[in-house]
Amino acid sequence: MTDFISPEDAGALRRAGLDSFDALWALELDAVDAPNTLGDGWSSVYRLDIEGAGYYLKRQSNYLSRSLRRPLGEPTFAAEFRNIRRYQHKQVPTLNPVFFAQRRIGGTVRAVLLTRALDDWQDLSCLLDQWPDLKLTCRRAVLSACGHLARQLHESREAHGCFYPKHIFLRERPGGYEACLIDLEKTRMLLGRRDRIRDLEALIRRVGFWKENELRCLLAAYLGEGGNGREIDAWLRRIQMRRQYKAAQA
């Protein structure tokens, strides 16, 4: 995979001296949390600001995923970057990639991925913490935005695989909210209704406290014009069956 640099951010990176793999790899920053480890590999995330704009820099070394197509492994950021670009091509709202590159140095595989920070967004988890204090119109707007995002995702023949509150970001707009998805490492092509139910059930299970009328609001936005009462009832039953299955596996 060749190096990628966003045309919109290339000038700012060049002026900051950060428009190369070596410069971004050598940059001294404090990690936002403890690094992830996998075997002898590691992966870490950093925050930086360039010309007043926020970015997140991800760096990893020998942090590889393996598949039938890539039995020797590749950096997980390579898969994430490909998925971001695919989502953008399909117009599924997600992160804006700014820079990606990988290098093999001796026996070590390194990768860097730089994305724009979602500074004027907040993840769904933050809104859920405020849920009892939110106005009814605000709750409905959030539910509708999440349902619409799931519909955009699945109509594009994609299954996120980790459709959790912390991966759904929302931004308030006149008349409601817009939503986007992050953490696309596990996303894959949608195979059928079962994948759709998995994504929806994963979100509902992790929220845990949405009431039936709220789930109906979510599903009405997800199903769009086909979301009549009978169809929503059918989807609620399917999701409940999935929840029971997951509980039995625990």
Domain identity same for 164 and 134: yes
Whether 249 is covered by a domain: the verdict is no
Domain count within the chain: 2
What's the pLDDT at 71?
63
Domain-ending residue, one of 116, 142, 170: 116
- When pLDDT is cut at 50, 70 and 90, the band that residue 245 belongs to is confident
Whether 29 is covered by a domain: the verdict is yes
Q: Residue 218: give its domain's CATH number.
A: 3.90.1200.10
Q: Can you tell me the distance from the alpha carbon of 23 to that of 96, in angstroms, rounded to the nearest whole number?
A: 20
- When pLDDT is cut at 50, 70 and 90, the band that residue 214 belongs to is very high
Domain identity same for 103 and 176: no
Instruction: Please tell me the pTM assigned to this model.
Output: 0.92
Q: What is the 3-state secondary structure (H, E, C) of 51-104?
A: CCEEEEEEEEECCEECCCCCCCCEEHHHHHHHHHHHHHHCCCCECCEEEEEEEE
Which residue in this structure is represented by tokens 């349902």?
A: 147
Whether 246 is covered by a domain: the verdict is no
Domain identity same for 67 and 50: yes
Cα torsion through 199, 119, 90, 78, rounded to 10: -80
What is the average per-residue pLDDT within 160-166?
97
- When pLDDT is cut at 50, 70 and 90, the band that residue 226 belongs to is low
- Can you give the residue range of the structural domain that contains 54? 4-116
Domain identity same for 208 and 109: no
Domain identity same for 112 and 130: no
Whether 131 is covered by a domain: the verdict is yes
